[in-house]
């Protein structure tokens, strides 16, 4: 009996579709790439052609220059050398998609990175029943259970209001996390200006161009220290302890990441206010998703693969780890 999805060839450099000579999220430049979303460990520059959502193509253009891209809308279907291909929302960041592949009566869903929590900056995850579900496992251990996001935002605002002579410096990944934190803060009623590091400006502008409202943002460079007291300052995680942050008014150092659940990581980064806000599923959301899409097989691309594979096997779901190279999760969790 032939194995499921024998027309797909997972390789260390990405998921390869031999009949189409196409790759999904390849780690190196290829002639034809299908890209799930704009994070650099999934979207590389230099491809001959790219099939992705319009938002992902815009993110790639902002990072790598103009792309030979073909935009595909959520729910749109097209045929790529005998494979029916459609993109559905992944709920990860702006433009993120799961890639649905159908051939020979089989359906394979390549989920990319995804989350199940509400996010005002991107379309919500859409479960798609399938024969093979290809999933991440960034937080694929039972210890990872993310708290309520609005409650974490309330902790941030409480620290801000309790320290009017200081600022709260929030480290957040430049694509997706920074814009989400800003939008979540606005949703909790904070409408004061937010100061941002220059490295966030281009992507915040891109989100606004695609209809995501972020309120008043002010470049922090050149602003007098006293003017930023009592305000939120957003910056990439790498700036939290460098020279740039020393010009801020006695900052309360915060970081927004699922990894802030791990106290040692927070201590290592000198984070005073760890905010457990993740753009990935926690353990319960991963396993709930697998129950919803009900695959016969699960392929795990990266993260804590062993625990999720074991969970599948104990429920008579065939599972394996693909061990793709080039996937990163340190700051972007």
Question: Of 124, 117, 163, 136, nearest to 256 (Cα)?
Answer: 117
Q: Order of strands across the sheet with 83-89? A: 77-80, 83-89, 97-103, 106-110, 132-137, 297-303, 318-321
Between helices 54-64 and 198-209, what is the axis angle to 10°? 150
- Rounded Cα distance, 55 and 88, in Å: 13
The residues with which 15 forms a beta bridge, in sequence order, are 10, 24
Q: Tens of pLDDT along the chain (333 residues)?
A: 578 999 999 999 999 999 999 999 999 999 999 999 999 999 999 999 999 999 999 999 999 999 999 999 999 999 999 999 999 999 999 999 999 999 999 999 999 999 999 999 999 999 999 999 999 999 999 999 999 999 999 999 999 999 999 999 999 999 999 999 999 999 999 999 999 999 999 999 999 999 999 999 999 999 999 999 999 999 999 999 889 999 999 999 999 999 999 999 899 889 999 999 999 999 999 999 999 999 999 999 999 999 999 999 999 999 999 988 877 655 568
| CA angle 289–319–79, rounded 5-degree value | 70
Question: Which own/partner contact pairs does 312-320 have at CB distance under 8 Å and 24+ positions apart?
Answer: 317/290
- Rounded Cα distance, 58 and 49, in Å: 14
Q: What is the pLDDT at residue 1?
A: 58
Q: What is the pLDDT at residue 329?
A: 54
Question: Of 80, 84, 98, nearest to 37 (Cα)?
Answer: 98
- Rounded Cα distance, 233 and 195, in Å: 5
Buried b (16+ CB within 10 A) or exposed e, 172-195: bbbbbbbbbbbbbbbeeebeeebb
Q: What is the pLDDT at residue 328?
A: 65
* 84-119 pLDDT per residue, tens: 999 999 999 999 999 999 999 999 999 999 999 999
Predicted TM-score (pTM) of this structure: 0.95
Q: What is the pLDDT at residue 3?
A: 87
The residues with which 320 forms a beta bridge, in sequence order, are 299
In contact, 40 and 61? CB cutoff 8 Å: no
- E strands, the chain, are 9-11, 14-17, 22-24, 32-34, 49-52, 69-71, 77-80, 83-89, 97-103, 106-110, 132-137, 168-171, 194-196, 217-219, 232-235, 252-256, 273-275, 297-303, 318-321
């Amino acid at each position: 009996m032939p194995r499921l999805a024998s027309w797909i060839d997972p390789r260390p450099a990405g998921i390869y579709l031999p009949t189409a000579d196409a790759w999904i999220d390849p780690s190196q430049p290829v002639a034809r790439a299908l890209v799930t979303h704009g994070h650099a460990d999934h979207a590389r520059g230099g491809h001959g052609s790219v099939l992705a959502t319009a938002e992902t193509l815009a993110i790639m253009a902002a990072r790598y220059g103009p792309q030979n891209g073909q935009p595909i809308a959520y729910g749109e279907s097209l045929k790529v050398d005998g494979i029916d291909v459609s993109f559905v929302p992944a709920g990860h960041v702006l433009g993120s998609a799961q890639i649905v592949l159908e051939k020979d009566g089989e359906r394979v869903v390549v989920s990319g990175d995804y989350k199940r929590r509400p996010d005002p900056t991107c379309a919500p995850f859409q479960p798609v029943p399938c024969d093979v579900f290809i999933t991440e496992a960034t937080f694929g251990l039972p210890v990872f259970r993310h708290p309520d996001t609005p409650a974490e935002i309330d902790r941030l605002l409480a620290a801000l209001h309790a320290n009017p002579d200081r600022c709260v410096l929030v480290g957040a990944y430049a694509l997706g996390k920074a814009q989400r934190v800003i939008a979540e803060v606005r949703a909790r009623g904070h409408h004061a200006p937010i100061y941002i590091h220059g490295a966030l400006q281009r992507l915040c502008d891109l989100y606004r161009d695609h209809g995501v409202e972020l309120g008043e943002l002010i470049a922090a460079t050149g602003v007098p220290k006293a003017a930023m007291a009592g305000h939120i300052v957003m910056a990439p995680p790498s700036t939290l302890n460098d020279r740039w942050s020393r010009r801020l008014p006695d900052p309360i150092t915060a970081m927004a990441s699922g990894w802030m659940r791990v106290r040692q990581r927070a201590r290592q980064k000198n984070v005073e206010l760890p905010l457990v806000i993740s753009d990935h599923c926690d353990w319960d959301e991963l396993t709930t998703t697998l129950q919803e899409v009900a695959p016969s097989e699960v392929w795990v691309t990266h993260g804590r693969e062993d625990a999720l594979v074991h969970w599948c096997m104990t429920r008579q779901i065939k599972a394996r780890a693909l061990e793709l190279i080039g996937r990163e999760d340190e700051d972007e969790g």
